[in-house]
Amino acid sequence: KQAGKRQVARLDGHDEAAPIARNALIRRRLPSAFETRRFTLHYQPQLDLVSGDNSTVEALLRWTDSELGMVSPAEFIPIMELSGDIHRIGLRVINEVCMQARRWLDAGVPRRVGINVSPVQLATRRVVSELLSALARHGVPPDLIQVEITEGAAITNLPRAIGQLQQLRDAGISIALDDYGTGFSSLAMLRNLPLNIVKIDKSFIDNIDTSAADALLVRGVIDTAHALGLKVTAEGVERPCQLRLLRELGCDIAQGFLISRPVAPDDLPPLTARTPLL
Ligand code: C2E
Ligand code: CA
Ligand code: CA
Ligand code: CA
């Protein structure tokens, strides 16, 4: 059993014996990754469970390093949040997403794109102007952008974060609360942030079809969000029975490997186009 566990850990790239060494190696390799532009974006479609529309995608960072191989953003984003690199990678993501959204518009297949924004990014005032000027520069309508703000990292200056999210919302950008249920003050976030969407964390969706308690919790979140006028996205949907149950519970949107893995922009499934965006 132990040996099996260790094997899995190694395949994941998280050798239990060497997390500190790996962390140091990632920090050492990051500058050259910026220089040589080794970051790319993959996109994961979201399925609207009512209309069948699949035009909304989430942009997810990818980094393939010559020494480390594929490094997950779950590993390097927290390091960048500490180092301050999050601001320059965030700006690259914003510009690349706007460029890609423009390409999709020009190709006649408009897609709405979710951008992950760290609370650390919201601690400065840069994000709003960076995002709005990139949209203007590329001629992308703001309602094609959805900002996903993760609940995990603490929001240090809540009034400032609220003000900036409100500015984005006023500009027509929609706001999603990411990883809902895993943060420190989920209900306070629902009350205080100007939101359009709540994304229920994968850990609550994983056992929704086998755990009555988890199904009740998810139902509670869906009903609460709907009562507040918000839409609900379920993350990490991998099995058809999860999707069936989510439909029954009135969940609005589903995302997960069952629908599609995150893929390069050209590999996305074709639009179902039942509800054209424009
Ligand atoms: P997230 O925003 O919660 O993104 C969802 C993560 O779950 C992604 O991992 C995605 O690949 C994975 N996923 C989606 N569906 C499934 C599924 O059905 N099963 C399983 N097992 N996994 C699924 P990824 O791409 O490794 O990203 C990890 C986290 O890194 C993201 O979590 C997000 O918090 C952060 N991140 C990624 N890109 C960015 C970015 O551009 N900026 C910032 N600030 N954070 C980012
Ligand atoms: Ca996200
Ligand atoms: Ca999430
Ligand atoms: Ca997450």
Q: 233-270, pLDDT tens digit by residue?
A: 999 999 999 999 999 999 999 999 999 999 999 999 99
Residue 142 alpha carbon to ligand 4 centre in Å? 24
Q: CA–CA separation, 231 vs 225, rounded Å?
A: 7
Q: What pLDDT is stored for residue 278 in this prediction?
A: 55
Which of 46, 60, 175, 198 has the most ligand 1 atoms within 8 A of CB, as the residue to mutate? Answer: 60
Q: What pLDDT is stored for residue 234 in this prediction?
A: 98
Average pLDDT over every residue of 85-97? 97
Backbone angles phi, psi at 146, to 5 degrees: -130, 125
pLDDT band of 36, cuts 50, 70, 90: confident
Residues whose beta carbon lies within 6 Å of some atom of ligand 1: 44, 59-61, 72-74, 77, 93, 116-118, 148, 150, 178-179, 236-238, 255-257, 262
Task: Tell me: pLDDT of 12 over 60.
Answer: no
- Predicted TM-score of the model (pTM): 0.92
Query: Which ligand has the minimum distance to the alpha carbon of residue 77?
Result: 1
* Residue count of the chain: 278
Q: CA–CA separation, 270 vs 256, rounded Å?
A: 17
Q: Are 258 and 56 in contact (CB under 8 A)?
A: no
Average pLDDT over every residue of 126-139? 97
Query: Which ligand has the minimum distance to the alpha carbon of residue 44?
Result: 1
Q: Does residue 157 or residue 24 have the better pLDDT?
A: 24
Task: Tell me: pLDDT of 69 over 80.
Answer: yes
Is the interface score ipTM higher than 0.90?
yes
Asked which of 21-30, 181-190, 201-210 is least confident by mean pLDDT, the reply is: 181-190
What six digits make up the tokens of 201?
């964390």
Helix (H) or strand (E) segment spanning residue 241: helix 240-248
Query: What letters, b where the CB count within 10 A reaches 16 and e where it falls short, cover 7-34?
Result: eeeeeeeeeeeeeeebeeebeebbeebe
Task: Tell me: pLDDT of 2 over 80.
Answer: no
- Average pLDDT value for the chain: 91
Average pLDDT over every residue of 209-221? 97
